[in-house]
Structure 1
Amino acid sequence: MNSSRLMNHMNTACDWLIKLFYLNLLWILFTLAGLVIAGIFPATVALFTVLKSFQTGESVRAFNEFWDVYKKEFWRTNRLGIVLTILPIIFYTDWLFTNQFSGTWAMTGKGILLGCFFLYVITLLYVFPVFIEAERKVFPTIKIAFLIGITYPVHTFMTLICITSLLLTFAFLPMAGFLFLASGLACIQSFFSLRLFKKIEAQAVNMHKHNTKIAGYYQTVIREKNPLLKG
């Protein structure tokens, strides 16, 4: 029994390694197809979309879905990409500006910038999963990703720990990083995000039921106190 279970786990692991390798290859090819600058964000959204299908058990053809999402979301994802690219440029420019000062002002400015950059990283963890889940415009997507990141610090911390561990592994094994970097990072983000979204959805359902019960209770009280409303 243990041997059979072990073989099943090994088969699952090998299957996922093959999928991640193939998706990483597709990500590289489609990024290059868009001359990198215009291709990286549509390819990333397509990567997250296919990974979501795999993780939810949907039967899809990876290349077909990748290509369909890449075409459909090309312009919308590049608008998102422009905002996500401009923000770190602004941070870096402001960092250089703070170098013109010294003492308390410089330390305060650098501290604020580091805090803002950390919040940017937290937002980046959820922005692509939110983008494909909610299909909203650019700024609402960024806002929701930011709010989720700071509202659920445990999930955010676990995601950051796993991503950091994976990056350290790739630093020691550069070839593995070349083969699995994009798909590996996206897989971690997608894995934690899907579970967090399910938790948020369950909380929303419970809250709705709770509010419905409260509303029903108050309606009953009002009717009891006001005879005109009875019947």
Structure 2
Amino acid sequence: MQRRVPPTIFAPPGAKTSPNWAIKLYEAADEVAWAAKLNLLWILFTLMGGVLLGVGPATVAAYTLARRRAMGESFRSWPAFVSVYRREFTRGSVLVLPLVAAAALLVTNYFYFASLGSAGSISQVATVVALGILVVIAAYALPMSVHYDLRTPHLLPKASLFALTRPAASVLLLFVFTAVVYVATTFPFLVLVLAIGGWIQLDTWLCLRFFAENEAKLHAKGTS
């Protein structure tokens, strides 16, 4: 349902303001506020689980709420997050912790090879490529985990296959992730305010469209 916002909120009476422009500006601000709320919930519940035990269920809960938001649902964010966090505590850890461990290992290797100078340049490039592949697979796997009824062991193979068969979409996801990381490293305070929630919502929004396009193609092949 489209939100209606009086243009007088953004301009004094008599000013020439497009109602459509005002609505779009309001909706953009609303999306930023939502991403900030999702960011706060993710950080809070990750810390509540002692980081290691909290990051998995917090991530799955954040993606679940991001999907509901992208699907146009209305819900109360706090109780919805708590409900998913509790329900997916074990599954979230099983899914997310291996991805976090692999990312941490690759980042550690990158800095180790960087310290070797030119002798480690090839290994450094290979590590960056591997990290990029991991990012893309995770970017598909996490939205898949909340959108499809798939068992956890099947998620990474399905995400890997999807990444291979949709290279343009995979490159786009990697580009968006790189842009978010660049902005977050340039302005570190955004990590605490917006970056994590913004990436989760963007990743979910994009993947839902990729999934829908893929389902439409499969349906067309099945009926042809």
Question: RMSD in angstroms over aligned alpha carbons?
Answer: 2.6
- Pick closer, same or farther for the CA change 1:164–1:85 going to 2, 3 Å: closer
Conserved? CA contact 1:126–1:193, under 8 Å: yes
Q: Which amino acid aligns with 1:163?
A: F
Summarize deviations over 1:120-161 as a string: whole Å, max 9, x none. Answer: 222111110011112322221011111111211111111222
> Normalising to structure 1: TM-score of the pair?
0.78
Q: Report the equivalent of 1:179.
A: 193
Summarize deviations over 1:18-76 as a string: whole Å, max 9, x none. Answer: 21111111111111111110001111111111111111111111112111111111001
Q: Which has the higher contact order (CA 8 A, sep 6+)?
A: 2
Once residues 52 and 108 of structure 1 are traced to their aligned partners in structure 2, the CA distance between those partners, rounded to angstroms, is: 39
Conserved? CA contact 2:35–2:198, under 8 Å: yes
Displacement, 1:164?
A: 1.7
Q: Report the equivalent of 2:63.
A: 48
* Number of equivalences: 206
Once residues 137 and 75 of structure 2 are traced to their aligned partners in structure 1, the CA distance between those partners, rounded to angstroms, is: 29
- Pick closer, same or farther for the CA change 1:60–1:38 going to 2, 3 Å: same
Q: Report the equivalent of 2:19.
A: 4
Once residues 141 and 176 of structure 1 are traced to their aligned partners in structure 2, the CA distance between those partners, rounded to angstroms, is: 30
Q: Which amino acid aligns with 2:77?
A: A
Q: Report the equivalent of 1:132.
A: 146
Displacement, 1:109?
A: 6.3
Q: Which amino acid aligns with 2:38?
A: L
Once residues 123 and 61 of structure 1 are traced to their aligned partners in structure 2, the CA distance between those partners, rounded to angstroms, is: 30
* Equivalent in 181, 188, 195 of residue 202 of structure 2: 188
Conserved? CA contact 2:67–2:147, under 8 Å: no
**What percent of counterpart residues are identical?**
26
- Pick closer, same or farther for the CA change 1:22–1:118 going to 2, 3 Å: closer
Once residues 12 and 93 of structure 1 are traced to their aligned partners in structure 2, the CA distance between those partners, rounded to angstroms, is: 40
- Pick closer, same or farther for the CA change 1:109–1:47 going to 2, 3 Å: same
Conserved? CA contact 2:136–2:173, under 8 Å: no
Conserved? CA contact 2:45–2:58, under 8 Å: yes
- Pick closer, same or farther for the CA change 1:92–1:2 going to 2, 3 Å: closer
Q: Report the equivalent of 2:11.
A: none
Summarize deviations over 1:158-189 as a string: whole Å, max 9, x none. Answer: 12222222222223333233201210111121
Unaligned runs of 5+ in 1: 211-231
1:62 maps to 2:77:
yes
> Normalising to structure 2: TM-score of the pair?
0.80
* Equivalent in 15, 18, 25 of residue 33 of structure 2: 18
- Pick closer, same or farther for the CA change 1:201–1:38 going to 2, 3 Å: same
Q: Report the equivalent of 1:121.
A: 135
Unaligned runs of 5+ in 2: 1-15
